[in-house]
A and B are shown apart, each in its own frame.
Chain A
Amino acid sequence: MSVSPAALVARRALAAASTSSHAGGARTWKILTFVLAIPAVAVCMANAYMKMQEHSHHERPEFVPYPHLRIRTKKFPWGDGNHSLFHNPQNNALPDGYETSHH
């Protein structure tokens, strides 16, 4: 069985990364940080931003007073007891409908 030189190099590098006595271990993870981890975050940031732009023309769903949603068995212990902690008047309807008229 022959193993490719690239695979051998990769195997050696990863073995070095896992031994605690070899100072080269930190270098491997530093490289992974700047070559893999940070670019992946940057790509996902760009992707999320572009997708958000795509539907910034917010068509929010029409209000239907479903009984299984917007449950108010007990009042929230703050404010008027009818708004959740992260309530957003644009996106979150109250049990009787949206608070804001636009969109």
Chain B
Amino acid sequence: MAHQAHAYHMVDPSPWPLTGAIAALLMTSGLAVWFHQHSMILMAIGTVLMLLTMYQWWRDIVREGTFQGHHTPPVQKGLRYGMILFITSEVFFFLGFFWAFYHASLAPTPELGGCWPPTGIFTLDPLEVPLLNTAVLLASGVTVTWAHHSMMGGDRKQAIQSLTMTIVLGFYFTVLQAMEYVDAPFTIGDGVYGATFFVATGFHGLHVMIGSIFLAVCLLRQIKHHFTSGHHFGFEAAAWYWHFVDVVWLFLYVSIYWWGS
């Protein structure tokens, strides 16, 4: 029986990259079919396939790392680079929407009334719920740091407590933002103001939900004793992602809610 003479992880063949690619194809073409032919079936199949792919691929990574020991220090370093590069790509994704917002708002066209906010748009008060949302996300940044230090110090109970608080705060943000969406006096169809507002904050909200799920998975894994005080990269990746989500909100708050009001 041959053993590897190196510290790297030669991953076993897996079907998940293929199912993931097929899911991406079905979701995107399904979206177009929904828009033009009013049938949701292709999009639904794509979504189901995507969820199945995500669950099984990440389950396999947990098996390879936590249970089979393949995540040696060099492998973990590669995973760190990967997460950093992914978050960097997300930064560029949001940069585009901020570009659109500043393009429209720094030189408002005559069609809008030559002003920002455009004529007829009544903006949300930045000192009401948006300020609360800011406090909620900043607080969750404190609690997730508490969770990390607890984990590093081997304090299992505090890690679970602080991680739970982080997730609750994230959930509270989502609920508050959903209420704001329903109560807002403007919609996504209200010209470039509505478009930039809802697309930028909407994608941000989606990332809050994704980050919350990531943290919840970490909470489940922490309860099931997957993490050690010296090795808990899954949690670190979730915490990095969460801080990124928080920073994007701060930019949204200052640019769109505050300066743009």
Contacts and interface: CB of A to CB of B under 8 A. Distances in A.
Contact of A91 (B120, B158, B183, B194): B183
A71 B139 contact: no
Given A29-B142, A29-B149, A61-B185, A69 B132 contact: no
Contact of A26 (B34, B38, B150, B187): B150
Contacts of B152: 20, 25-26
A7 interface: no
A84 B189 contact: yes
Contacts, number: 122
Contacts of B190: 69-71
Given A37-B139, A44-B131, A60 B146 contact: no
B24 interface: no
B132 A45 contact: yes
A41 interface: yes
A37 B185 contact: no
B78 interface: no
Nearest to B110: A68
Contact of B111 (A30, A36, A68, A74): A68
Nearest to A88: B182
A91 B189 contact: no
Given A25-B152, A29-B149, A86-B181, A41 B34 contact: no
A86 B186 CA distance: 10
B131 A47 contact: yes
B1 to A, nearest CB: 38
A20 B119 CA distance: 53
